[in-house]
A and B are shown apart, each in its own frame.
Chain A
């Protein structure tokens, strides 16, 4: 069964810093990997979907990389802002199209 782990579990940075969130998965036979944002008590906002054939995907200040062979993905956030404070989840699809979610990284950007 696929297991997805995220490190660190929590991260606190001053505004303006660049940061990297890490995601690792045990089964490298994935079609894609998604990064989501979840605000407290809210649903999920899809940030980036990176296909298995891609190495990176960019959207604004966000850049996601994927290394299938090593079972890793990173989410890079440039010039962090207080509005970026949220929990970030990575997820990979299972055989039945469901998603296996990571444990999440709770990010706090301090003004």
Chain B
């Protein structure tokens, strides 16, 4: 149980393109989803926290107008990288928790590798 599906797994596109990444909880409802970014040989860094039906909370240094997050349902959150540039090339990974609380394990998607040419 507690499967998170992320799509697509790999994207290559030209500079200036907008790219949408989907994160779905397949067998549970997720009120909260998280988006992380991982640059080569670095660890995962939280970008934003996505709550169903409300605006996302962005970490310091993450541009909310560039990384648009929508969490319109309890099973889907999307991250749109607008006008992507080569420096946005990274591994993006989402996670979800079943319910808010201090002791909830996170369930991760398989990640999306984004390459901007």
A32-B105 Cα distance, complex, nearest whole Å: 9
State which of A31, A89, A93, A96 has its C-beta within 8 Å of the C-beta of B44: A89
- Collect the chain A residues with CB atoms within 8 Å of residue B78's CB: none
- Collect the chain A residues with CB atoms within 8 Å of residue B105's CB: 32, 34, 46, 49
- Collect the chain A residues with CB atoms within 8 Å of residue B44's CB: 44, 89, 99, 101
In the complex, the chain A residue whose C-beta lies closest to that of B106 is: A99
In the complex, the chain A residue whose C-beta lies closest to that of B113 is: A41
- Collect the chain B residues with CB atoms within 8 Å of residue A98's CB: 34, 46, 49
Given contacts A41-B91, A43-B93, A103-B43, contact A97 B110 (CB under 8 A): no
B103 sits at the interface (CB 8 A):
yes
Cβ contacts B9-48/A at 8 Å (1 or 0 each): 0000000000000000000000010101000001111100
Q: Is the Cβ of B93 less than 8 Å from the Cβ of A44?
A: yes
Q: Is the Cβ of B43 less than 8 Å from the Cβ of A97?
A: no
Q: Which segment of B61-69, B80-88, B94-102 sits at the interface? A: B94-102
Q: Is the Cβ of B46 less than 8 Å from the Cβ of A42?
A: no
- Collect the chain B residues with CB atoms within 8 Å of residue A97's CB: 32, 34, 49, 97, 100-102, 104, 106
Q: Is the Cβ of A31 less than 8 Å from the Cβ of B102?
A: yes
Q: Is the Cβ of B49 less than 8 Å from the Cβ of A99?
A: no
Which residues of A come within 8 Å of B, CB atoms? 31-32, 34, 36, 41-44, 46, 49, 51, 89, 93-94, 96-104
7 contacts between A and B (CB under 8 A): A41-B91, A44-B108, A93-B104, A97-B106, A99-B44, A100-B46, A103-B43
Which residues of B come within 8 Å of A, CB atoms? 6, 32, 34, 36, 42-46, 49, 57, 91, 93, 95, 97, 100-111, 113
